[in-house]
Amino acid sequence: MRIELDFISVLAEWPMLMKGVAWTVGLTAVSTVLGLALGIGLAWSRVHGPLPLRAVAGSYVEAIRNTPFIVQLFFVYFGLPALGIRLSPELASIIAMVINLSAYATEIIRAGIEATPRGQIEAAMSLALKPGQIFTHVVLAPALQKVWPALVSQIIIVMLGSAVCGQISTEELSHAANLIQSRNFRAFEVFIIATLTYLMLAMALRRLLNWLGTRFLFGR
């Protein structure tokens, strides 16, 4: 039995693959910024908010964490139009990714917030800072610093999960791979190349996020 692998015809389609990579990176970037912002807001509300808000946020987190991302994506893209909300594949992907990341980020950031030493807060209170000022200037940065590795891992998980978005025709990497293999029938080779590309993206993303954390969060 001879197995003939033809990677050349796959690599010849590198423009399409690059376009897919660009889309994957773009989707991830936008979703990360929005997802972290939402996660910080939700984490704050779970720690400091009134009871009804805490309950809603808590239910939201549990609902997202206990359902698969693909179902969330299908719900946003196929389900919402029944309510009159029609979204492009890209917008639906971003919304689903933001919702997904924020639910996990909330728990991670909440752990960081709750680990703030009591003395820091007392010192800030003694300096007459308002609760909102204490959160923004004293609690948040050290909390994010503490949980940054866990957040980075979660962001990478979301980036890898974006492969599913190709199923609703978002033009990211897995979609490009599917297109290529439907044309040259080299499914195995195409997916090997795509998988290796994802692996490199994951490694690069980890490096980038670690550097960003050091540069902007930790201040040194």
Does 207 bind other proteins (CB under 8 A)? Our answer is: no
Using CB under 8 A, which of the segments 46-54, 102-110, 153-161, 208-216 binds other proteins?
A: 153-161
Does 58 bind other proteins (CB under 8 A)? Our answer is: no
Using CB under 8 A, which of the segments 6-14, 40-48, 88-96, 139-147 binds other proteins?
A: 139-147
CB of 203 to other proteins, least distance (A): 7
Among 11, 127, 208, 212, binds other proteins (CB under 8 A): 127
Q: Are 98 and 34 in contact (CB under 8 A)?
A: yes
d(CA 64, CA 84): 23
Does 26 bind other proteins (CB under 8 A)? Our answer is: no
Does 28 bind other proteins (CB under 8 A)? Our answer is: no
C-beta of 38 vs 217, nearer to other proteins: 217
Q: Give which of 156, 154, 125 is closest to 43, Cα–Cα.
A: 154
Does 67 bind other proteins (CB under 8 A)? Our answer is: yes
Does 8 bind other proteins (CB under 8 A)? Our answer is: no
Does 169 bind other proteins (CB under 8 A)? Our answer is: no
Among 16, 30, 53, 156, binds other proteins (CB under 8 A): 156
Does 51 bind other proteins (CB under 8 A)? Our answer is: no
Does 148 bind other proteins (CB under 8 A)? Our answer is: no
Among 12, 71, 91, 115, binds other proteins (CB under 8 A): 71
CB of 124 to other proteins, least distance (A): 8
Q: Are 20 and 177 in contact (CB under 8 A)?
A: yes
Sign for the CA dihedral angle at 38, 41, 46, 49 comes to negative
Q: Which residues of this protein are in contact with other proteins, per CB under 8 A?
A: 1, 3, 62-63, 65-72, 74-75, 78-83, 117, 119-120, 122-131, 133, 137-138, 141-142, 145, 156, 160-164, 167, 174, 187-188, 191-192, 194-195, 198-199, 202-203, 218-220
